Structure formats: structure tokens, C-alpha cells
Amino acid sequence: MERVVVIVGPTCSGKTKLALALAAKLNSEIISADSRQIYKYLSIGTAKPLQSELLKVHHHFIDELNPDENFNVYQFERRSFEIINLLHSQEKIPIVAGGSGLYIKALVDGIFEAPDADENIRAELLSVKNESGNEALYNILKQCDPVSTESMLPQNWKRVIRAIEVYKLTGKFIWQLQKEFKRENCFQFIQIGLNWNREELYLNINNRVDDMIESGLIEEVKNILSIGYSKSLNALNTVGYKEIIQFLENELDLVTAIDLIKRSTRRFAKRQLTWFRKDKRIIWLDIDSNTSFDKLADEIIKIVSSGEYERQN
């Protein structure tokens, strides 16, 4: 069975660095499983690979769409399979790297065909959002499907609406339908998780946010808005961007905005870990600030070559 290496973990855990080291050794390409890096102009706030890194290794789903274009998990799954098949035809082992749990889940296990949208239900839920805000929507979902709220944030209001809608239309939870869905797997997905000590991970997060500000995150947000993109776009309803927009509109001072970004990112990392730790197929590798990604890549190649993953799963 053809193999695919999947590198997962929380934000700031080193997924990109490891993927780059591994791609160089395998002479392969990287599929980004990040729901925001696909958008142009959103670079600093999404921690995209540097331009020099993009030139060294071909990346997919980076800088492909404008911020006002739609991209969803169904498109990601379909297009990723096309890329994987192409890379296999070139005798390359594809490398997937990213922290979007839903994207990884769809790729590894497939995603069910959900019922079509119901305009009446959607209009009702959009009215709740517009009148009472994202938290009100989130609380509706929490009342009918608390499990789904564990993998969603209030600002991901489109996903929240969809989960409520599916429940109202089918009487089943969206995660339940996903669990019942079975897809014949034609690839062996070798999932590698990066495990950090929590205090070190949180320090990484705080340092990255400071680096983002120093690297020009505020100017990046100003540029996006000056081009004419609306602040209400789903792409900008993201940790880092929404707080800076609030700062630019004098709703927050800069110190408070930065503190909120750090806090929200730490919470996001915790949710990512909760999501990924449920998947017992993931091989977790301990990592710290002294870890050599080059050596870690060699370790993964041994796992891929030895069949160790297949024996464990």
C-alpha cells in the first residue's frame, strides 16, 4: 500500500520545520493541512513557510486563493488525493503537515456526504448570529451537541451553523455521521505527532506572537484591509487577525490585543492536542528546544521504511 507521512501537533510545535527536513531527505513535496495558509496576503499571522523555504520545497495549498474565496474540507480532501496520486506516480512519498484536525481527519478517514443546506434553518441561525453574536450560536450547539463544540471555536461560526443544521436535518450529530462513514483506504497514512512539554510549548507560542508583531503583523492587516477586503471575511475571523483589527479600530490597546492573541493561541493549542490525542494511530515523538529536526526526520524515515507503524496499527 502506498504511504503518506502526516505530521500533526499543536501550533508552534515545529511541524513546518520537520516537514521541510523530511521533504529534503525524501525529495518530496508538502501538502499544507492549514485552513488559512491557502489565502494570499495572510502570511505573518498564519506562520507560513518563508519564501526561501517555499522555493526549496514545493508546497501545496499555500497562497492559492484570495481571502474572499471559499475553501472547505471537502475540497481539501478531493484535491489532496489528486496530489497524493500524482506524487506516488513520481515515486515520491507525500508529506502532509498541519494543525487543522478536521482536514487531517477528512484526509485519513474520509468525510461523509452531509445533507444539503436548508435555507430556512440557515437564515434562522444567521439571524441569531447577527443579533446576539457568535457565542449565542455556539451555546445553541453546546446544548444540542456538546461533543462538537470540543473541536470548534465560537468564531468558526460557519462550522457551528453547519453542525446545528446537520443535527436539525438528520437528528444525528455531525461527528456521529462522520464516525458511521466508512471509506475504503487506498493509502497507508503514517501519522507522526510532535509532543512538547506544555510550559515550553506555551513559551514558544508567546515568543512567536511577539515575533509576528515585530515582523509586521499590524502592517499586514492594514494592507489586507486597504486592498478592500472586508474585516468580516471568514479568513480574517482568525486568532491574530481579529485582535489586530480590533486594535486598528481602537477597540483594544496594543498590549491587550497582543495578550489576547497569546491567550487565544494557547487555548487553540490545547484544543488541537485534545483532538489529536484521541487518535491512537498517531506515533508521538517527544520534542524540545534542543531537538534536531534533521535527526528527527531520519527517525521518521526509519519508521516509514521498517514497517513499524503498520505493526503498531
Give the other-Cβ count within 10 Å of 262's Cβ. Answer: 20
pLDDT at 97 exceeding the cut of 90: yes
Do residues 8 and 103 share a domain?
Answer: yes
Give φ, ψ of 60 to 5 degrees.
Answer: -110, 145
At 310, is the pLDDT very low, low, confident or very high (cuts 50, 70, 90)? low
Dig out the grid coordinates for 240 from the structure.
Answer: 491574530
Average pLDDT, the chain: 92
Give the other-Cβ count within 10 Å of 125's Cβ. Answer: 22
pLDDT at 221 exceeding the cut of 50: yes
With pLDDT > 90 as the criterion, what percentage of the chain qualifies? Answer: 76
Give φ, ψ of 188 to 5 degrees.
Answer: -100, 110
Our count of domains for the chain comes to 2
Angle subtended at Cα 109 by Cα 107 and Cα 113, rounded to the nearest 5 degrees: 85
Instruction: Give the integer Cα–Cα distance in Å for 120 and 81.
Output: 34
Do residues 176 and 290 share a domain?
Answer: no
Nearest partner of 97 among 150, 45, 37, judged by Cα: 37
Instruction: Give the integer Cα–Cα distance in Å for 35 and 141.
Output: 22
Domain CATH number, residue 147 = 1.10.20.140
Q: What is the pLDDT of residue 155?
A: 82
pLDDT, tens digit, for every residue of 125-137?
A: 999 999 999 999 9
Q: Which H or E run includes 74?
A: helix 73-89
Structure letter (DSSP) for residue 166: H
Among candidate residues 180, 196, 211, the one where a domain is terminated = 180
Provide mean pLDDT across the span 222-236.
95
Do residues 135 and 53 share a domain?
Answer: no
Q: What is the pLDDT of residue 113?
A: 67
Instruction: Give the integer Cα–Cα distance in Å for 29 and 59.
Output: 6
At 143, is the pLDDT very low, low, confident or very high (cuts 50, 70, 90)? very high
Give me the domain span that covers residue 141. 119-180
Give φ, ψ of 267 to 5 degrees.
Answer: -65, -40
Do residues 94 and 138 share a domain?
Answer: no
Which residue is it, cell 505493526?
Answer: 311
Q: What is the pLDDT of residue 153?
A: 82
Do residues 186 and 96 share a domain?
Answer: yes
pTM of the predicted protein model: 0.83
Residues 6+ apart with CB under 8 A from 4: 84, 93, 94, 95, 96, 187, 188, 189, 190
